Structure 1
Amino acid sequence: MPSLRDRRKAETYRSIQEHALRLFAERGFDQTTVGDVAEAAGVSSMTVFRHFPTKEDLVLADEYDPVLAERIAAGPAGEPLIRRVAAVLADGLAATSPGERELMLARLRIGLTASALRARRWENHHRTTEAVVAALPAEDPLEVRVAVGACLAAVTTALTHWAEHGGDPHELAVRALNLVLQQKG
């Protein structure tokens, strides 16, 4: 069970990010300052930066990479790696709560409209790939990068479609992942 300090830290993190997303949606990413976010969250700008090193992190930071890497590494070794990656991504989306989906949708929409965030999305993609490669040291790094890259691209495309057109994010992701898995070499 997390300590009181860890729970408070997590609550502050969530509060700051929720206030930031609300302000970015209302005013725009470029028009909202870190000071605005700090004021809305009732914390100092230093506290914001302690939790989120950059303004972009207020939108893009999450704690999914270690969980994703751990779950892929724990998957059945006899199953093709790309299927393990696809299953973990699909299962992760299926397990999201309505609140998590709401947060994800807000983050996506802001990320799609703010040009400053587009390059960081690629950086996040790379960081996710590297986390999975590190979790699978016995696997072929090229195979891991291709499997993760293909599956992340499929899910990212599905989630972008969801943000722009609606639908069920899990169903869209499963559909996109199945398109990747059906490809023959």
Structure 2
Amino acid sequence: MATSRHERTHTRLIEHALDLFEAQGFEQTTVAQIAAAAEVTEMTFFRHFSSKELVVLNDPYDPAIADGVAAQPADLPALVRAVRGVRRALNGLPEADVERVRRRVRIIAGSAALRASSAGVNAATEARIGDQLIADGAPALVARAAAAAVLAALTAALFEWARDERLTLPAAIDGALRTLEGDDG
């Protein structure tokens, strides 16, 4: 499938930004440096990202997570639906994206500012999961607690996976989600 010029530029910006963030640190990297490395103007950068933080924090998998939760039978307990929905969504992550995700998570883990900003992104994902569970009939408190538990487990799994090269993404996610299911062995 042919990609548009916009998509190619977007991908180039992400790749050069990740390279620079890894080489010199997130805080030390400027938008001007990213734009220059990608051979575009700063204005072009801002057409793709409203801030350099969003290069790393934009999570294209949030809609898939909400869809995964929505696809679970509504008669299951909220936590079970949330766990199975997240597992379904993230186990379907294209292999080509896995290394880029690991790079993003490592950069986030290495920056206090990005870790703080990622809490906002996680809150939005948590709200989407909770809202989906509520829409399907779960009581609000139960839905919000299930969503919060799943996001906390997922965050722990991602940070551990980013630190440990031997750990695969499916194994990290599965381990964290099995813990929520009461199987920590």
The answer for the alignment partner of 1:171 in structure 2 is 171
The answer for the alignment partner of 2:96 in structure 1 is 99
The answer for the alignment partner of 1:112 in structure 2 is 109
Query: Is structure 2 residue 134 aligned with structure 1 residue 149?
Result: no
TM-score normalised to the size of structure 1?
A: 0.87
Cα drift, residue 7 of structure 1: 3.7
Counterpart Cα distance in 2 of 1:11 and 1:91 = 28
Structure 2: runs of 5+ lacking an equivalent: none
Cα drift, residue 139 of structure 1: 3.3
Query: Is structure 2 residue 56 aligned with structure 1 residue 67?
Result: no
Matches within 5 A, 1:4-153: 7-135=4-132, 136-137=134-135, 138-153=137-152
TM-score normalised to the size of structure 2?
A: 0.87
Amino acid at match of 2:80: R
State the number of aligned residues: 180
Counterpart Cα distance in 1 of 2:57 and 2:140 = 25
Counterpart Cα distance in 2 of 1:102 and 1:10 = 19
Same amino acid, percent of matched pairs:
36
Cα drift, residue 67 of structure 1: 2.1
**C-alpha distance after superposition, 1:103-157 (max 9, x if no partner):** 0110011001112101111101111122233444343232222111111111211
* Runs of 4 or more above 4 Å deviation: none
Cα drift, residue 81 of structure 1: 1.9
Question: Structure 1 residues 10, 132: CA separation in 2 closer, same or farther (over 3 Å shift)?
Answer: farther
